[in-house]
């Protein structure tokens, strides 16, 4: 009987050690924001964009890489700009907020200038390239090309992408409102060059050298993720 009890006790101890192994690994990780996030899925590259408050238009952007079970700092902090109205979990078209949450990077990067050496597919922007903002269009929140100089088959709310040679010199598309696309929930959320050094209409912007560093660093095989939020809420994403 004592032998049976001893075996049961050993098995229970083994289960307890196994069950706590994840906690032990977490405790071994550096104390930083990336390791505090609720979930980063399968990503092994991460960008965090932290606003002081939901009305802040200036944020702190950092790059992280995953090593084993832990996130380690790569670069930053850098100053990044977000929407005129700050960040929001309830973004809508035209509200000038940047969506809060965790998002992937879409598989094609864009730019008015030649490919700066990114590892993603790259589309050189030309006259007639649009990102559709018309909530009634079947092309809403999608890239769409029309012949240069012709009227697009959707309501025009801004100039075509080729008319923004500074902001759209290079850009990555943040995978917001895409699965599925919901009319009116916001469109064209990019990580792009800061043209003015001030707030955006809803995108995230960086200085050109810093943006190029990020875009070259992104590796599709690493399933990069960008997490945007306030200091008080970002750990929930």
Return per-residue pLDDT of the chain as tens, 237 residues: 444 444 434 444 443 433 333 343 456 999 999 999 999 999 999 999 999 999 999 999 999 999 999 999 999 999 999 999 999 999 999 999 999 999 999 999 999 999 999 999 999 999 999 999 999 999 999 999 999 999 999 999 888 999 999 999 999 999 999 999 999 999 999 999 999 899 999 999 999 999 999 999 999 999 999 999 999 999 999
Please give the pLDDT value at position 153: 95
How far apart are the C-alpha atoms of 218 and 182, rounded to whole Å?
A: 27
The pLDDT value recorded for residue 158 is: 86
The CA-based angle 221-223-228, given to 5 degrees, is: 155
CA 83 to chain CA mean position, Å: 14
The reply to whether 127 and 12 lie within a common domain is no
**174 shares a domain with 88:** yes
Q: Same domain, yes or no, for 57 and 163?
A: yes
* Distance (Å, whole) CA 109 – CA 207: 17
Cα–Cα distance for residue pair 184/136, rounded to 1 Å: 9
Q: Are residues 128 and 87 in the same domain?
A: yes
Tokens of 60: 């702190």
Name every residue whose Cβ is closer than 8 Å to that of residue 204 and which is 6 or more positions away in sequence.
49, 59, 61, 80, 81, 82, 98, 174, 189, 190, 191, 192, 226, 228
> Do both 26 and 49 map to the same domain?
no
pLDDT for residue 12: 42
If asked whether residues 1 and 80 sit together in one domain, one would say no
Please indicate, yes or no, whether residues 3 and 64 belong to a single structural domain of this protein: no
The CA dihedral of 198, 204, 205, 211, to the nearest 10 degrees, is: 160
Structurally, the chain folds into a number of domains equal to 2
Residue 109's nearest CA partner among 97, 95, 123 is 123
Identify the bridge partners of residue 109 per DSSP, sorted by sequence position: 122
SS (H, E, C) 159-186: CCHHHCCCCCCCEEEECCCCCCCCCCCC
Assess whether 10 and 120 both reside in one domain: no
Spell out where the chain has E strands: 45-51, 58-67, 70-81, 87-88, 98-99, 101-104, 108-111, 121-124, 129-131, 143-145, 171-173, 190-193, 204-206, 225-230
Tokens found for residue 204: 């995230």
pTM: 0.88
Q: Which residues of 34-73 are buried (b: 16+ CB within 10 A; e: fewer)?
A: bbebeebeebbbbbbbbbeebebbebbbbbbbbeeebbee
Looking at the structure, tell me whether residues 58 and 155 fall in a common domain: yes
Task: Using the structure block, give the residue that is written with the tokens 């079970």.
Answer: 69
If asked whether residues 148 and 195 sit together in one domain, one would say yes
Considering the domain architecture, whether residues 5 and 56 belong to the same structural domain is answered as: no
Residues of the domain holding 16 = 1-30
Among 129, 89, 90, 120, residue whose Cα is nearest residue 191: 120
Q: Tell me if residue 13 falls in helix, strand or coil.
A: helix
């Amino acid at each position: 009987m004592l032998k049976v009890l001893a075996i049961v006790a050993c098995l229970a101890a083994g289960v307890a050690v196994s069950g706590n192994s994840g906690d032990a690994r977490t405790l071994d990780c550096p104390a930083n924001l990336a390791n505090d996030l609720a979930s980063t899925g399968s990503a092994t590259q991460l960008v965090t964009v932290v606003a002081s408050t939901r009305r802040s238009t200036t944020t702190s952007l950092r790059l992280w890489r995953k090593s084993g079970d832990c996130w380690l700092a790569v670069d930053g902090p850098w100053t990044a700009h977000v929407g005129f109205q700050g960040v929001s979990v309830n973004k809508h078209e035209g509200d000038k907020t940047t969506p809060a949450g965790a998002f992937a990077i879409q598989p094609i990067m864009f730019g008015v200038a030649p490919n700066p050496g990114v590892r993603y597919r790259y589309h050189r922007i030309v006259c007639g390239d649009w990102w559709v903002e018309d909530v009634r269009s079947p092309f809403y929140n999608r890239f769409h090309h029309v012949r240069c100089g012709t009227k697009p088959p959707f309501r025009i709310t801004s100039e075509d992408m080729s008319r923004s040679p500074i902001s759209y010199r290079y850009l990555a598309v943040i995978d917001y409102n895409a699965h599925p696309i919901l009319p009116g929930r916001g469109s064209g959320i990019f990580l792009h060059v800061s043209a003015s050094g001030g707030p955006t209409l809803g995108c995230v912007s960086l200085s050109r050298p810093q943006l190029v560093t990020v875009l070259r660093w992104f590796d599709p095989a690493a399933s990069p993720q960008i997490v945007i939020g306030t200091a008080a809420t970002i750990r929930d994403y």
